[in-house]
């Protein structure tokens, strides 16, 4: 099981009410807010924790459409600037965060064999970005499987989860796609052969 989430930091800065206490209170528990205020990186810390929660939300839902908006049920523990854990009900999920000047991306995983790739979009249009994401993810998967790019396709199953196909045959590796602002990312399991 894998999930990933990206936040475009420039986009988030002007497109969100992150500076308000009410914003923090709706998303973060007390100890999470303590972490957010623990240094002068409050803005980055907010989005670090947000991508942790979202990436784990994607693992726990793994289905089409948002069924619930309950960010406070996902409790974050930060281990260091990269690693973290998120507790949801009786499950605990490891997270791995990449922090860049322009974006923050977190992958949540139950098994430690996975890979992720971040890409910058050339278009601001949602649908164009979606096809760009699919193209980037297909390419990354083709490289990992050592097969031609054009043999890989990504098709959403009836519950809205994207799946890899090689020459029309569904593959076992799970895929998670995300995009926000000008950035997108994919993460998928790497199976031992």
Binding residues for another protein, rule: CB under 8 A, are: 7, 12, 15-17, 20, 22-23, 26-27, 50, 54, 64-72, 126, 180
What is the CA 36 to chain-centroid distance, rounded?
20
Q: Beta partners for 191?
A: none
Nearer to another protein, 50 or 119 (CB): 50
Greatest pairwise CA separation for the chain in angstroms: 51
Q: Beta partners for 162?
A: 156
Nearer to another protein, 18 or 165 (CB): 18
Nearer to another protein, 141 or 178 (CB): 178
Shortest reach from residue 2's CB to another protein, in Å: 17
Shortest reach from residue 70's CB to another protein, in Å: 5
Shortest reach from residue 56's CB to another protein, in Å: 13
Number of helical (H) and strand (E) elements in the chain, helices listed first: 5, 10
Nearer to another protein, 142 or 161 (CB): 161
According to DSSP H, which parts of the chain are helical?
9-15, 21-27, 30-36, 42-61, 126-145
Q: Rounded CA gap, 178 and 163, in Å?
A: 14
Calculate the alpha carbon distances from 93 to 44, 52, 66, 106 in Å.
21, 10, 20, 12
Nearer to another protein, 7 or 186 (CB): 7
Shortest reach from residue 160's CB to another protein, in Å: 9
Shortest reach from residue 24's CB to another protein, in Å: 10
Shortest reach from residue 18's CB to another protein, in Å: 9
Calculate the alpha carbon distances from 155 to 85, 126, 149, 163 in Å.
30, 18, 15, 5
Q: Rounded CA gap, 7 and 98, in Å?
A: 11
Nearer to another protein, 24 or 152 (CB): 24
């Amino acid at each position: 099981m894998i999930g990933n989430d990206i936040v475009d930091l420039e986009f988030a800065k002007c497109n969100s009410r992150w500076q308000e206490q009410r914003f923090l209170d709706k998303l973060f528990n007390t100890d999470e807010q303590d972490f957010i205020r623990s240094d002068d990186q409050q803005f980055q810390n907010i989005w670090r924790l947000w991508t942790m929660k979202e990436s784990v939300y994607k693992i726990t839902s793994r289905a089409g459409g948002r069924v619930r908006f309950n960010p406070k049920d996902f409790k974050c523990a930060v281990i260091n600037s990269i690693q973290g854990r998120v507790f949801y009900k009786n499950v605990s999920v490891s997270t791995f965060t990449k922090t860049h000047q322009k974006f923050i991306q977190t992958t949540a995983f139950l098994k430690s064999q996975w890979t992720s790739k971040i890409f910058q979009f050339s278009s601001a249009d949602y649908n164009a970005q979606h096809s760009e994401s699919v193209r980037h993810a297909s390419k990354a998967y083709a490289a990992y499987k050592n097969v031609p790019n054009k043999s890989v396709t990504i098709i959403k199953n009836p519950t809205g989860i994207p799946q890899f196909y090689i020459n029309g045959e569904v593959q076992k590796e799970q895929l998670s796609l995300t995009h926000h602002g000008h950035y997108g990312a994919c993460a998928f399991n790497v199976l031992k052969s």
